[in-house]
Amino acid sequence: GEDVEQSLFLSVREGDSSVINCTYTDSSSTYLYWYKQEPGAGLQLLTYIFSNMDMKQDQRLTVLLNKKDKHLSLRIADTQTGDSAIYFCAERGNYQLIWGAGTKLIIKP
């Protein structure tokens, strides 16, 4: 069946780059998403990438897609304390999004 996997935690120093990784199983997925959930808040769409793209950049965010390995990553440059959140990876399934468990990004001063 469809499955999306992520590490549960990532700890980085403020100012460093954060790389959050995700693997998925459905090679026919057309869209892959990154959502951000700040403490006590709902999920916010951060960015998404279409399956025919390898990379998408949006300011400090870079999404890399390796379709052969079914691997998706989100790189946050110059990580700030405001980036502290849980980041969810999701792939588009038939009728719904298939969600990862979320990666909690912890920022060390």
Partner 1 sequence: DTAVSQTPKYLVTQMGNDKSIKCEQNLGHDTMYWYKQDSKKFLKIMFSYNNKELIINETVPNRFSPKSPDKAHLNLHINSLELGDSAVYFCASSQDWGQTQYFGPGTRLLVL
Q: Which of residues 72-91 bind partner 1 (CB under 8 A)?
A: 86, 88
Decide: is 50 part of the binding site for partner 1 (CB under 8 A).
no
Residues found in the chain? 109
Q: Cα angle vertex 22, ends 60, 75, to 5°?
A: 15
In the bound complex, what is the minimum distance in angstroms from residue 42's beta carbon to partner 1?
Answer: 4
Decide: is 31 part of the binding site for partner 1 (CB under 8 A).
yes
Identify each DSSP E strand in 3-100 by its residue range.
4-6, 9-13, 18-24, 31-37, 43-50, 55-58, 61-66, 71-76, 85-92, 97-99
In the bound complex, what is the minimum distance in angstroms from residue 14's beta carbon to partner 1?
Answer: 23
In the bound complex, what is the minimum distance in angstroms from residue 94's beta carbon to partner 1?
Answer: 6
If the CB atoms of residues 43 and 77 are measured against partner 1, the closer one turns out to be 43
Decide: is 33 part of the binding site for partner 1 (CB under 8 A).
yes
CB 80 within 8 A of CB 107: yes
Decide: is 37 part of the binding site for partner 1 (CB under 8 A).
yes
